[in-house]
Amino acid sequence: MTKSSNHKILIVDDDKDILDLLKYNLEKDGYTVKVERKSTHSIETAGKFHPDLIILDIMMPKVNGIEVCRQLRELPDFRNTYIFFLTAKSDKQLQLKALDTGGDDYIEKITGLRALTYKIGTVLKKNLVIRKSVERINIGDMVIDRKASSVTYKSKEMALPKYEFELLYFFAQNPKKVITRDNLLHNIWGSDVYVLAKSVDTYIANLTQKIGEGLISRVDEGKYKFQVR
Instruction: Outline where the chain has alpha helix (H).
Output: 16-28, 42-49, 65-73, 92-100, 113-124, 162-173, 181-184, 197-211
**Considering only the top CATH level, what class is 8-124?**
alpha beta
pLDDT, averaged per 10 consecutive residues of the chain (229 residues), comes to 73 94 95 97 97 95 95 96 87 86 87 84 95 91 91 90 94 95 87 73 93 90 88
β-sheet bridge partners, residue 122: none
Domain 136-226 has CATH 1.10.10.10: yes
Helix intervals (H) in 31-161: 42-49, 65-73, 92-100, 113-124
Please report, for the chain, the start and end positions of each structural domain, with discontinuous segments joined by +. Answer: 8-124, 136-226
d(CA 38, CA 51): 17
Instruction: Supply the pLDDT for residue 192.
Output: 60
- pLDDT of the residue at 13: 95
Give the Cα separation of 91 and 108 in Å (integer).
10
Q: What pLDDT does 1 receive? A: 39
Question: By 3-state DSSP, what share of the chain in percent is helix, strand and coil, each rounded to 5?
Answer: 40, 25, 35
What is the reported pLDDT for 2? 45
